[in-house]
Amino acid sequence: MEEKDRQNSEKKLAAEKAVEFVEDGMTVGIGTGSTVFFAIKKLGERVQSGLKFSAVSTSESTSKLAVSSGIRLITLEEAVRIDLNIDGADEADRNFNGIKGGGGALLFEKIVALSSAKNIWIIDSSKNVEQLGKFPLPVEVIPFGYKRVLNIFKEMKFYPELRVKNDKKFLTDSGNYILDLHLEKIDNAENLDKEIKMITGVVETGLFINIADVIITGKNNSTQILTKE
């Protein structure tokens, strides 16, 4: 099997396993990305079979897909509580910390995650890492004065790169830019997160520390479920 096919099959396995946690009457947060795609498809199938739940979306792309799959969306404001949030990740370590934002939805994803009683990450096995940082760390910044922030990151030797898509500056759903930091390894994620967030103009970082409760990894033809104690 090609590497890409294997990853996709692992993503699907992890996503479908996470959907088994959804019960009647729940409010479910739905993340963003190619792994979450499989969760949305499965949730749509379960709606067809009679499952009743409401969902809070983390991005425009997820909202579109959810609505076309028959999932009832409510706003975060309308949600009294979010019972369960299902999201992907770009890297996850053994301490349940991770990097997110490869798809650029990190801000809404973090807000929904922090509003949820339980967070499940769904990943393929390539995303389990010993140390965070190989995946470039996304940082959302407001467009006004972003070059100043970029220069500060350069001085800090964080090797920032303004995210570009289709030859245009990538815009988040909030109309912000993303600076991807090429750190290679992160020794203290919590300190780094605080350090970056001190910089004026930074909106949020893709470091998700102590947020995930369960990590479901697709590995070959099965899933591994890790639950935080």
Distances, alpha carbon 124 to alpha carbons 34, 61, 97, 219, in Å:
11, 21, 16, 7
C-beta closer to ligand 5RP: residue 148 or 169: 169
Catalytic residue flag (residue 109):
yes
Least separation in angstroms between CB 98 and ligand 5RP? 9
Rule CB under 6 A: is residue 30 a binding residue for ligand 5RP? no
Among 44, 88, 136, 218, binds ligand 5RP (CB under 6 A): 88
Cβ atoms within 10 Å of 136's Cβ, excluding its own = 23
- For residues 116 and 213, what is the distance between their CA atoms, to the nearest angstrom? 11
* Contact set for ligand 5RP, span 142-181 (CB under 6 A): none
Instruction: Return the residue of 87, 93, 140, 180 that touches ligand 5RP, per CB under 6 A.
Output: 87
Is the CB of residue 69 less than 8 Å from the CB of residue 95? no
Between 53 and 121, CB nearer to ligand 5RP: 121
The reply on whether position 119 binds ligand 5RP by CB under 6 A is: no
Binding site for ligand 5RP (CB under 6 A): 31-35, 87-90, 100-106, 109
